[in-house]
Amino acid sequence: MAEAAALRELLATEFGITSDAELVAALKRMRKINIGPMARPKARKEERSGGKTLQESA
């Protein structure tokens, strides 16, 4: 649990968050992020090369 103590110390010094209630309130105020670009499937090689396989485009 040393990590938890270190995290609590960091939150207190960097952000002034000293309790669980303050942390929950801060998290609720945070702007939401769109993780869609990071969660999309990787494009296939044919899609990246305009529909041609790598041998056809060479």
Q: What is the pLDDT of residues 3-37, one digit of tens each?
A: 999 999 999 999 999 999 999 999 999 999 998 88
20-29: long-range pairs with CB below 8 Å, 24+: none
Question: What are the extents of the domains in the chain?
Answer: 2-57
Q: Radius of gyration over alpha carbons of the chain, in Å? A: 22
Q: How confident is the model at residue 50 (pLDDT cuts 50, 70, 90)?
A: low
Predicted model pTM? 0.54
CA distances from 13 to 16, 28, 33 (A): 6, 20, 25
Flag whether pLDDT at 58 surpasses 60: no
